[in-house]
Amino acid sequence: MRGRNLLAEPAIEFRNLKKSYPVGNDSTIEAVKDISLKVRAKELVSLLGPSGSGKSTILAMVAGLTSPTGGEVRVNGDRVEGPRPKEITIVFQEPNLLPWRRADQNVRYGLELRGGDLKVMDGLVEKYLNLVGLQGFEKYYPSQLSGGMAQRVALARALALETGIMLLDEPFGALDENTRSMLGDELLQIKSITEKTMLFVTHSIEEALHLSDRVLILSGRPARVKDDIRINLETPRTVELRCSPEFQEYKVRIWQSLKDELNENITEPVANR
Ligand SMILES: Nc1ncnc2c1ncn2[C@@H]1O[C@H](COP(=O)(O)OP(=O)(O)OP(=O)(O)O)[C@@H](O)[C@H]1O
Ligand SMILES: [Mg+2]
């Protein structure tokens, strides 16, 4: 649309978003139920919710990897109808690196798929491997990297595409607590440099509070937004801040909202009529 002010548009908007999956021939499972909300440009919004509540499904709909069965997702003002690789990248819990490619070649992979100038690609690979702290490890193969280093490569691979929106589905979930916390600090630094909008799925209240401008608490399946909590804590969220009474108060509040959902019994698929 001509003359549209993109900055005025929410980066991501859910309008009455719904998703049911078919199970077998005669039943469906309702994963997401009627979510409406807006995520502003440059916000980092975490999704916290029980296992199986629909968090990955929500990200998949934003990424255009699966279609809603009701409502819509809009990205930068446009309805999502399929993948939008120029605007959105996604990082998963597993780094999914190609084992026969070195770290730099893995980062280059996404750029190669997109095509373009080879020199520009090399510049982007170097820039983002440095940004995730992997200078010196460019020529290592995935089997020669630790779990944290492999996830840094996956992060660099996504960052190199320079999209405005990054979706992160438990990106540090497989890492030990200390590495996870360090990568959280680094993600925030990267975010402040690259000014991305981020949707971040996690099971950790601590991690959500460490990173987020807003935390969405999702109900048990089907996912609804039970609570939408703005985190008014200064950044960066240092270890000292994370030990402060204000931080702990947020933790208690989020836990109280989440715990009932964790207790919810898992509902059975519903037979189609
Ligand atoms: N492709 C699919 N086909 C059928 N059902 C699916 C499919 N993908 C997800 N589901 C169902 O949708 C529900 C939500 O799944 P989803 O993976 O979105 O949950 P989640 O919140 O990401 O869980 P976790 O925290 O364990 O990763 C689950 O009941 C799951 O079984
Ligand atoms: Mg998931």
For 90, the enclosing helix (H) or strand (E) is strand 88-91
Q: How far is CA 57 from the centre of its chain?
A: 12
Pocket test for ligand 1, best of 51, 55, 67 (most atoms within 8 A of CB): 55
pLDDT at 246: 96
Dihedral of alpha carbons 180, 157, 50, 59, sign = positive
pTM: 0.92
Ligand 1 atom 8: the closest Cα is on which residue? 57
CA distance 132 to 231: 26
- Ligand 1, residue 266: give the atom nearest the CA: 29
Name residues contacting ligand 1 (CB within 6 A): 21, 23, 29, 31, 49, 51-57, 221
| Cα–ligand 2 centroid distance for 169 (angstroms) | 7
CA distances from 97 to 106, 134, 151 (A): 6, 15, 9
Chunked mean pLDDT (size 10), the chain, 273 residues: 62 97 90 95 96 94 97 96 94 96 96 90 95 94 96 95 96 90 92 94 96 95 94 93 96 93 61 53
| Cα–ligand 1 centroid distance for 51 (angstroms) | 8
Q: What domains sit in the chain, N to C, each tagged with a CATH number?
A: 1-87+209-273 (3.40.50)
Q: State the amino acid at position 197 in one-letter form.
A: T
pLDDT at 161: 95
Let me know the angle formed at the C-alpha of 256 by 166 and 252, rounded to the nearest 5 degrees.
80
Q: Tokens 């048990």 correspond to what residue?
A: 220
pLDDT at 265: 44
| Cα–ligand 2 centroid distance for 51 (angstroms) | 7
* Tokens matching residue 61: 């709909």
Q: Tokens 């934003």 correspond to what residue?
A: 62
